[in-house]
Amino acid sequence: MDVLAHNVLAAAICPMPANIVRHVFLDPAAREIYPDWWAVAAESAAALRASALGMEDDPGLTALGGELSLKSPEFRGLWARHEVRAKSSGTKRMRTGEGLLEVTWETLSVASAPGQQVVAYLVRPGSADVLDRLRAGAGAP
């Protein structure tokens, strides 16, 4: 769940972390950004477990799991549930400097790069004005 690339508007919505799960559990700002933090956290832990299937010996995954387990009691509790759920689509609310942004998102697998995904966010009705202000502030087209 490492972020490999993002666009200017995505960075205006939320400062792009190097790793989504680390951001959710260890960055105090995440609790401010996501009004539904607990749901985002549960989804992230279950998605990490899903992405770990068949990669149990991966040193990066082991290090991430160890770091999160040591530093986040919420992660430890969610990880202990053993929920496995791939992130394929959903809705999310995010607080921005321009207001509350509500989006739906869809995960698309990259056929030529197994294990990599593109996540597309679509603004929900009522959030277009927030997105327009973010776009203007970021200088995005």
Average pLDDT over residues 30-41: 96
pTM listed for this prediction: 0.87
Rounded mean pLDDT of 30-58?
91
140 pLDDT band, cuts 50/70/90, is: low
> Phi-psi bin for 112: left (phi > 0), alpha (psi -120 to 50), beta?
alpha
Residue carrying structure tokens 């991430």: 64
Place 103 in a pLDDT band, splitting at 50, 70 and 90: very high
Residues of the chain with pLDDT > 90, as a percent, come to 48
Rounded to the nearest integer, the mean pLDDT of the chain is: 89
Average pLDDT over residues 116-133: 88
Task: Write down the pLDDT at residue 35.
Answer: 96
The secondary structure element, H or E, covering residue 73 is helix 73-80
Say what the pLDDT of residue 141 is: 66
Q: Two tokens at 32?
A: 């401010």
Q: Does the structure show a pLDDT above 80 at 82?
A: yes
Delineate the domains of the chain, giving CATH numbers in brackets. Answer: 8-138 (3.30.450.180)
Q: Which residues of 81-97 are buried (b: 16+ CB within 10 A; e: fewer)?
A: eeeeeebeeeebbbbbe
